[in-house]
Amino acid sequence: MAGRKFDSKALAKGVFSIVVFLVLWEIGSRSKTWITAESLSGFRDALGAMGFSKKYLPWIGAIPAPSEVVLAWGTVLFDPGYWHSWMMSGMRVGGGFFAAMLVGIPFGLALAVSRTTYGIGFPVFELLRPIPPLAWVPASIIFWPTQELSIAFVTFLGAFYTIVINVVGGARSIDVRFFQAAQSMGSSKADIFRRVILPGTLPSIVVGSAVGMGITWEVVVAAEMISGGGSQVGGTSGGGLGFFIWNSYVGGSYEQIVVGMISIGIAGFISSELLRHFGKYLTPWLRLR
Amino acid sequence: MSENQVPRPIVASGEIAVRGVSKSYGEAHLAREVVKDCDFTVERGKLTVMIGPSGCGKSTLIRLLAGFESPDTGSILLDGAPITGPSRDRLVLFQESALFPWMTTWDNILYGPRARGEVTRQTLEFAEFLLNKVGLRDFRNKYPTQLSGGMQRRAELARAMINNPQIMILDEPFRGLDAMTKELMWEYYANLFDESGRTNFFVTTDIDEAVFLADRLLIMTNIPAQVRTVIEVDVPRPRKLSDMVTNDRANAVKMEALAILHEEAMKSFSRGSKAAADFVEAYARRSAKA
C-alpha cells in the first residue's frame, strides 16, 4: 500500500525468519545426519518393525545446501543457456497470458452482457473448465503444428478460465442502480458499456489476471517438463526454466534444480508485481480511501 | 454564492399524474399486490413529499415513476403523456449513493451531458456553478470513496440537477446519514429547490424531514400502497429549521401526520408486521410526552 509507513519491526521479523530457515537448511544439508534415518534410529526401528525400510524416509542430506546453490547459481549466471531458459519461459507465459486476456476479457464481457451469448457459450465453457490445463498437454502436442505453440496453448488455458470467470462475475455484480442511473441520464447501450460496465469490471479483470498469471507459471513449468523443452537446442540452452530443472535432475546437477526452482519463484514474483502495479494504475479509485 | 451569475438553462417543470395504478409481484395466486388503485398528482413546481411506513410500497412507486418498471393497470402521465421508460426528464436519487465509484466528482457530475453529447461551454459553467453550490469545489478530483456520506449525497444532487430534469425523484436520499449531517442536507436541498422551482418528488420515512421540506405531504396507507391523506404544508418558504420547531402550523401538520401513520402502523402491526412495532412504541412514547 502506497501510504503505509515503513515498518522496521516487520522487516526485522521477516529477515530473521528467512535467516533461520536458511541456517537450518544449511545445517541439515551439511551434517548429512540431521533428519535422516540414521539420526532418528528409534523412529527408524519403530518404522522398521512396521515393515518400512530406511529408503522410504526423507533425507535432507540429499538436498544441496544453500551455500552450494549460491555457488552453482554464480556459475550458471554466466551461462547464456540459463538466461535463454528465462526468456523461453517468459515468452511462453507472456504469449499464453496475453492471448488469454485478449480472448478471455471480450468473451467474459460478452457472456455477461448478452443472455444469448451466455446461453450458447457458457455450457461449453463450463464443460471444458474442469479439465486441468495439464491434461491438455498430449492432445495439444498432437493438435498444434509446433511444440512451442502447444506449450503456449496450455499456458493460455491456465489463465483463460480464471480470467473469464472473474470477468463474468465482476460484470454481473455491478450494482443495478448504476445502470438505472446511467439510463436515466440518457446513456445509450454503447455508452453504458464503455463508461459503466467496462470500468465496473476492471477490478475483477485485474484480480483475474493476477490469479491467472500465477496459474500460467505453474502450468508452463510442467508443460516444459512433459514436452521435453520444446526446443531443438535442448539441454540447458533453450528449453525454458521448467526444462532447466528437469534437465538438471536428469544430469544429476542437484544444485541447479534448486537454482531453477528459485528462478521460477523470482519470475512469478516479478510478473505478479508488474501486474499489481499496472492494475493499481488502472483502478485508481480503489486505492484512494 | 448568489453573486455567481451563471446563465442557467430555463427549467420546464413537469407534472406527474398517477391514475389508478396497481402493481403486484409474483405469479398467479402467489401474487402480492404492492400498489393498489393508487391515485395522486405530483404538482408542477412543488415539492411533494410522500411519507409512509417502511415496506409500504414507496420504492415500487418510485421505480414506476422513474420508468424502470411499468404498472399492471392504470397510467402514469408526465404532462399528459404516458411514461414508457427511464428518461432524463425524471431523474432518481437512490437510497444509497449511486455515484460511479470509478469517476471523480467532476466526471460524475458531467456524466449525463457527456452521455448525450451535450458538453458545451455553458454546460461546463453550469457544472462549475453546481459544484460550488453543493460545496464540493475542493473535491472535484476526488473519487466517491474519498467523500463523506453527506458530500456524496450532494455530489449526487449536482449530478442530477445538471441534466435539468422536469422532475427530480428522491428515494429516501438522506437515509443513513447522522442526525446533524441530515439537517445540513435538508437545508442544502431545500435551498436548491427554492432556487430552481423545479417539480420535486421526495419519499421518506422521517416525519421531521417530511414536514420541513414539503409543500404537499402525501401520507400513505400500509401495503398495498395508496394515498391515504394529502396535507398542504402552507408554511412560507424559504424555511429555516430553527423556525420550524416553533411554527404552530408545522407542528400541527406533524401531529396530524403522525396520528395517521400510527393508525396505519397499528393496522400492519396487527397483521404481524414486526417493523411496525417500533413505530407504534415510539409514537406511544412521543404522544405521552406531548
Question: What backbone phi and psi angles, to 5 degrees, belong to A13?
Answer: -60, -40
How far apart (Å, rounded) are the C-alpha atoms in residues A117 and A106?
Answer: 12
Query: Quick check: is B126 in a domain?
Result: no
The closest alpha carbon to B15, from B163, B201, B172, belongs to: B201
Question: What backbone phi and psi angles, to 5 degrees, belong to B161?
Answer: -70, -25
Question: What are the pLDDT tens digits along chain A (289 aa)?
Answer: 444 566 788 899 999 999 999 988 888 787 765 555 555 566 666 666 666 655 555 666 778 888 889 998 988 888 888 888 899 899 999 999 999 999 999 999 999 988 899 999 999 999 999 999 989 988 988 898 888 888 889 999 999 999 999 999 999 999 988 998 898 888 899 999 999 999 999 999 999 999 999 999 989 888 888 776 544 444 444 578 888 888 888 888 888 999 999 999 999 999 988 998 999 999 989 876 5
**Cβ contact A184–B92 (<8 Å):** yes
- Would you state the cell numbers that stand for residue A99, as one nine-digit string? 492471448
Quick one: B207 exposed, middle or buried, by C-beta within 10 A (0-12, 13-18, 19+)? buried
Bridging pattern class, strands B167-171 and B90-93:
parallel
- Give chain A positions within 8 Å (CB) of B101: 285
Where exactly does CATH 1.10.3720.10 map onto chain A?
64-287
- Give chain B positions within 8 Å (CB) of A206: none
How far apart (Å, rounded) are the C-alpha atoms in residues B106 and A109?
Answer: 27
Nearest to B86 among A180, A199, A285 (CB): A180
Residue of B nearest to A282 (CA): B102
Query: Quick check: is B133 in a domain?
Result: no
- Say if CB A225 and CB A246 are below 8 A apart: yes
Scan for cell 538466461, then name that residue.
Answer: A83
Domain count, chain B: 1
The closest alpha carbon to A65, from A30, A18, A24, A20, belongs to: A30
- Say if CB B168 and CB B93 are below 8 A apart: yes
- Would you state the cell numbers that stand for residue B50, as one nine-digit string? 410522500
Query: Quick check: is B72 in a domain?
Result: yes
Query: Quick check: is B101 in a domain?
Result: no
- Say if CB B272 and CB B284 are below 8 A apart: no
Q: Where are the alpha helices (DSSP H) in A114-197?
A: 115-128, 137-143, 147-172, 176-184, 189-192
Q: Which of A185, A187, A192 would you mutate first to test chain B, the one with the most B CBs within 10 A?
A: A185
Q: Which of B84, B90, B111 would you mutate first to test chain A, the one with the most A CBs within 10 A?
A: B111
Question: What are the pLDDT tens digits along chain B (290 aa)?
Answer: 444 444 455 667 888 989 988 888 888 777 788 888 889 989 888 899 999 877 778 888 888 998 889 999 999 999 888 988 888 888 888 877 889 999 999 999 999 999 999 899 989 998 999 898 888 999 999 999 999 888 998 899 889 888 888 898 999 888 888 888 888 888 888 888 888 878 999 999 888 899 999 999 999 888 788 888 888 888 888 888 888 888 888 888 888 888 888 888 888 777 777 767 777 777 777 777 66
Shortest Cα distance, chain A CAs vs residue B60, angstroms = 14
CA torsion through residues B138, B141, B147, B149, sign: positive
Which CATH number describes the domain made up of A64-287? 1.10.3720.10
**Cβ contact A202–B98 (<8 Å):** no
Does this model's pTM top 0.80? Answer: no
Q: Is A284 on the interface with B (CB under 8 A)?
A: yes
How far apart (Å, rounded) are the C-alpha atoms in residues A282 and B13?
Answer: 41
Residues of the domain holding B49 = 16-79+166-289
- Give chain B positions within 8 Å (CB) of A187: 111, 115
Question: What backbone phi and psi angles, to 5 degrees, belong to B124?
Answer: -65, -40
Q: In a 3-state reduction of DSSP, which class is residue B75?
A: strand
- Which CATH number fits the domain that encloses residue B36? 3.40.50.300
Is the bond leading into A123 cis (omega within 30 degrees of zero)? Answer: no
**Cβ contact A199–B100 (<8 Å):** yes
- Which residues, at least 6 apart from B217, have a Cβ–Cβ distance to it below 8 Å? B48, B49, B51, B210, B211, B230, B231, B232, B233, B253, B257
What DSSP string describes B200-258? EEEEES-HHHHHHH-SEEEEE-SSSB-EEEEEE----SS--HHHHHH-HHHHHHHHHHH
- Would you state the cell numbers that stand for residue B283, as one nine-digit string? 409514537
Query: Quick check: is B155 in a domain?
Result: no
* Phi-psi domain of B125 (left: phi exceeds 0; alpha: psi -120 through 50; beta: other): alpha
Contacts A–B by Cβ distance under 8 A: 70
- Give chain B positions within 8 Å (CB) of A280: none
Q: Which of B62, B63, B97, B102 would you mutate first to test chain A, the one with the most A CBs within 10 A?
A: B102
**Cβ contact A202–B90 (<8 Å):** no
Q: Chain B residues with CB-CB distance to A under 8 A?
A: 66, 68, 85-88, 90-92, 94, 96, 98, 100-103, 111-112, 114-116, 142-146, 159, 163
- Would you state the cell numbers that stand for residue B2, as one nine-digit string? 448568489
What DSSP string describes A92-104? HHHHHHHHHHHHH
